[in-house]
């Protein structure tokens, strides 16, 4: 029988039709034996996973099922108690060393694991359900490496990975914050931003980059900036590590020569341990109406994808309206009470949770977003409506995925992104067959190529990345391009490189503007205590113009940013700030106001301002030392130049992500007492010799 005929027979079981189980297994065995390539073998694999979905039907022929599972490499599903000695021996060869007894690899997992254990570097492209992260754990368990770095794309994944790797805390210190001192053996679990900033990342033996396709630079927005930082992180790590493992889904091709240059193998596989069914939802009405018709037909935990925050709110309300008869467990009741007390009982999220529906998007504080994922995976929520923030590697236990949108931020997603969303359906041992419901036709299938700009150094590679590379690592044409930056005298190369990810020419133009207008700008870029309104406006205006700061969290101009930061710092408490944001608002307007306030606190206040001190400190120290040793005439000139460099470095920080503690209680790097407490401490404590002036210029130096 063909694949389609075998599949139709299994599908009939869903309609309670009876089949001849023995005859079907005989036909499946023949189909498996005749498989001539990996694609046909994967088809056999998928059919066997569907057999596991109907265990009761095939219970009388369990030994046959076990033999077929072993034949297609699905060893984690093989039951040693049912299988014979030969099967048990084969299963043992797929057991990684030093891991818990229940951990068994599939054939393809074992292949990747053996490559890594042989000391070779691997780039793996595999489906979401492959179990790529389990291989990381097995390599760590082998204790072959003293210092390991695991790079993940989001802070949510930092927390998830940290919790998973804490099982090795007796052998390794798991480090997630810049303030943590390393031990003799360490695992650094960082985003790319933290990798490029952490001075303790030295003598690395092995590193991992999860979701490595993000090395490709595709647009000019935040994704571009983060891709630049990820390329820089890769460059920094590959210069010192002996071995690496990079993983991601649905990648078909890498740049020519990449594997040879870095002595790594590219393994591409479609090996999957779950199956997936795709259903087109009938047209009729808008997305809300279609979702309301679909929800009563679904069984099992369900993710609902929307391309925007507003869309997620609307879909969350729609699911809540029709998801009747839900009774909240104690864990969910506690979460609802906490959110009602600390935020607002009128918040749409609170109302949705009472119906067993979570709403997850990028405007939420990270602590709340993580709580929603835990509640969903723990069975407390039946539905989790989400935006693209949930598809980047965070594990969820969803049987169904409803794709109600075909855009992300009004831009149509490609086949690669669609596959990532679709891959969230199904989970080993829980939901052998996942179900994907589409409101729109899927995008055209396209083979994905991932560019690595730090290697290819093509015309699209930004200067902010190339300036970080050693001269002997630059292509001849690129070296000539960088020479213009090296030879200009407006700003030192040291300062430019300290501001990782910031375009060099933006920094240089800022330095020139400060130098040309030093008399006017100096009072605006130096203060003791707290900055005035005009001083903050000057900083934000310079950053906005020279670094192309994007509108974010309702802030569209430097004047608006200054007004809102000033308003924020004048409020005595978070509760008062929240009440002010909600004043006079109700319904959808209240939700928008509350979540915009949280996004502003998280993005502008909780990230950018506290980071300024750390960015400016190297320039401050250098300029201070210079002032103490230079005679008067040269000193005055250097003071002016140092002011320019300090101003540039500090203003650069105003568009970079920072750390601190957000109002919602999220932990960040650094012992910040308050996200907008700007203070100044003079590092010298005396005037510059021979000048009679206190030549010290800080920009929003955060207190410690």
What CA–CA distance (Å, rounded) separates 287 from 402? 11
- Residues 6 or more apart in contact with residue 55 via CB below 8 angstroms: none
Structure tokens belonging to residue 144: 């072959």
What CA–CA distance (Å, rounded) separates 628 from 642? 13
Tokens 């690592």: give the residue: 473
Phi/psi of residue 239, nearest 5 degrees: -75, -20
Judge contact between 45 and 272, C-beta under 8 A. Answer: yes
Q: Looking at residue 393, what is its pLDDT?
A: 60
Alpha helices by DSSP H, listed for 94-190, are 107-117, 132-141, 155-165
Judge contact between 512 and 533, C-beta under 8 A. Answer: no
- Give the chain's radius of gyration (CA, Å): 28
Judge contact between 326 and 380, C-beta under 8 A. Answer: no
Q: Looking at residue 646, what is its pLDDT?
A: 55
- Residues 6 or more apart in contact with residue 672 via CB below 8 angstroms: 610, 659, 660, 661, 702, 703, 704
What residues are paired with 386 via a beta bridge?
305, 360
What CA–CA distance (Å, rounded) separates 396 from 477? 46
What CA–CA distance (Å, rounded) separates 52 from 99? 26
- The number of beta carbons lying within 10 Å of the beta carbon of residue 220 is 11
What secondary structure letter does DSSP report for 93?
Answer: T
Q: Looking at residue 130, what is its pLDDT?
A: 92
Phi/psi of residue 333, nearest 5 degrees: -60, -40
Handedness of CA 254, 260, 261, 263 (dihedral sign): positive
Question: Taking phi first (over 0 means left), then psi (-120 to 50 degrees means alpha), and beta for anything else, what does residue 138 get?
Answer: alpha
What CA–CA distance (Å, rounded) separates 456 from 216? 11
Structure tokens belonging to residue 185: 């053996």
Domains of the chain, each with CATH number or no CATH: 3-89 (no CATH), 107-268 (3.40.50.300), 276-438 (3.40.50.300), 475-559+593-653 (no CATH)
Read off the pLDDT of residues 235-287 as tens digits, 9 standing for 90 and up.
999 999 999 999 998 899 999 999 999 999 999 999 999 999 999 999 988 99
Beta-strand relationship, 407-408 and 411-412: antiparallel
Q: Looking at residue 610, what is its pLDDT?
A: 52
Judge contact between 295 and 319, C-beta under 8 A. Answer: yes
Q: Looking at residue 621, what is its pLDDT?
A: 34
Long-range own/partner contacts, residues 195-202 (CB < 8 A, 24 or more apart): 195/149, 195/151, 195/229, 195/233, 195/236, 195/237, 196/229, 196/232, 196/233, 196/236, 196/500, 196/501, 197/500, 197/614, 200/175, 201/149, 201/236, 201/237, 202/147, 202/240
What CA–CA distance (Å, rounded) separates 596 from 151? 29
Residues of the chain short of pLDDT 70, as ranges, are 219-223, 392-393, 447, 572, 607-704
Number of Cα atoms under 13 Å in the Cβ half of residue 260: 3
Q: Looking at residue 623, what is its pLDDT?
A: 35
């Amino acid at each position: 029988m063909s694949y389609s005929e075998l599949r139709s027979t299994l599908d009939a079981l869903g309609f309670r039709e009876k089949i001849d189980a023995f005859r079907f297994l005989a036909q499946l065995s023949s189909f498996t034996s005749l498989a001539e390539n990996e694609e046909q073998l994967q088809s056999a694999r998928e059919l066997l996973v569907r057999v596991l979905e109907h265990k009761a039907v095939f219970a009388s022929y369990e030994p046959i099922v076990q033999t077929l599972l072993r034949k297609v490499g699905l060893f984690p599903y093989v039951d040693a108690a049912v299988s014979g000695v030969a099967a048990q021996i084969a299963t043992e060869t797929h057991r990684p060393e030093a891991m818990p007894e229940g951990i068994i690899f599939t054939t393809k997992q074992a292949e990747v694991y053996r490559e890594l254990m042989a000391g070779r570097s691997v780039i793996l492209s595999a489906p979401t359900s492959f179990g790529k992260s389990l291989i990381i754990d097995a390599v760590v368990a082998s204790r072959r490496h003293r210092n390991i770095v695991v790079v993940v794309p989001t802070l949510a994944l930092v927390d998830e990975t940290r919790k998973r790797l804490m099982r090795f805390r007796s052998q390794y210190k798991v480090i997630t914050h810049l303030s943590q001192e390393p031990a003799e053996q360490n695992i650094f679990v960082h985003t790319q931003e933290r990798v490029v900033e952490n001075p303790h990342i030295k003598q690395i033996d092995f590193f991992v980059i999860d979701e490595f396709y993000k090395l490709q630079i595709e647009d000019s927005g935040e994704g571009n900036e983060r891709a630049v930082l990820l390329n820089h992180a890769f460059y920094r790590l590959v210069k010192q590590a002996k071995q690496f493992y990079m993983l991601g889904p649905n990648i078909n091709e890498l740049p020519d020569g990449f594997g040879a240059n870095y002595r790594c193998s590219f393994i591409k596989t479609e090996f999957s341990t779950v199956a997936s069914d795709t259903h087109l939802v009938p047209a009729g009405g808008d997305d809300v109406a279609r979702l309301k018709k679909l929800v009563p037909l679904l069984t099992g935990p369900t993710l609902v994808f929307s391309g925007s925050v507003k869309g997620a709110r609307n879909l969350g309300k729609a699911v809540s309206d029709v998801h009747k008869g839900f009774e909240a467990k104690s864990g969910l009741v506690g979460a609802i009470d906490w959110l009602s007390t600390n935020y607002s009982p009128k918040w749409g999220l609170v109302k949705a949770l009472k119906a067993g529906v979570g709403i997850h998007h990028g405007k939420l504080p990270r602590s709340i977003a993580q709580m929603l994922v835990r509640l969903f995976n723990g069975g407390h929520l039946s539905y989790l409506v989400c935006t693209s923030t949930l598809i980047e590697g965070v594990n969820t236990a969803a049987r169904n995925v409803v794709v109600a949108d075909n855009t992300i931020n009004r831009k149509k997603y490609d086949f690669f992104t669609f596959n990532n969303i679709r891959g969230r359906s199904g989970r080993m041992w829980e939901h052998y067959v996942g179900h994907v419901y589409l409101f729109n036709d899927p995008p055209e299938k396209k083979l994905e190529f991932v560019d690595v700009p730090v290697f290819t150094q093509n015309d699209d590679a930004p200067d902010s990345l190339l300036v970080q590379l050693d001269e002997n690592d630059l292509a001849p044409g690129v070296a000539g391009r960088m020479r213009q930056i090296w030879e200009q005298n407006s700003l030192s190369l040291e300062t430019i490189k300290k501001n990782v990810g910031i375009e060099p020419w933006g920094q240089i133009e800022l330095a020139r503007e400060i130098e040309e207008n030093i008399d006017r700008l100096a009072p605006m870029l130096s203060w003791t205590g707290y900055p005035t309104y005009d001083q903050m406006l000057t900083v934000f205006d310079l950053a906005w113009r020279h670094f192309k700061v994007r509108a974010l969290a309702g802030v569209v101009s430097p004047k608006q940013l200054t007004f809102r930061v000033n308003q924020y710092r004048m409020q005595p408490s978070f509760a008062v700030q929240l009440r002010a944001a909600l004043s006079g608002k109700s319904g959808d307007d209240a939700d928008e106001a509350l979540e915009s306030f949280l996004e502003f606190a998280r993005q502008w206040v909780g990230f950018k301002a506290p980071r300024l001190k750390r960015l400016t400190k190297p320039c401050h120290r250098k300029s201070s030392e210079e002032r103490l040793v230079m005679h008067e005439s040269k000193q005055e000139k250097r003071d002016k130049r140092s002011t320019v460099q300090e101003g540039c470095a500090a203003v650069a920080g105003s568009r970079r992500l920072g750390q601190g503690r957000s109002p919602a209680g999220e932990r960040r790097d650094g012992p910040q007492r308050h996200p907008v407490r700007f203070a100044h401490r003079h590092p010298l404590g005396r005037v510059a010799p021979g000048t009679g002036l206190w030549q010290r210029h800080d920009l929003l130096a955060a207190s410690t």
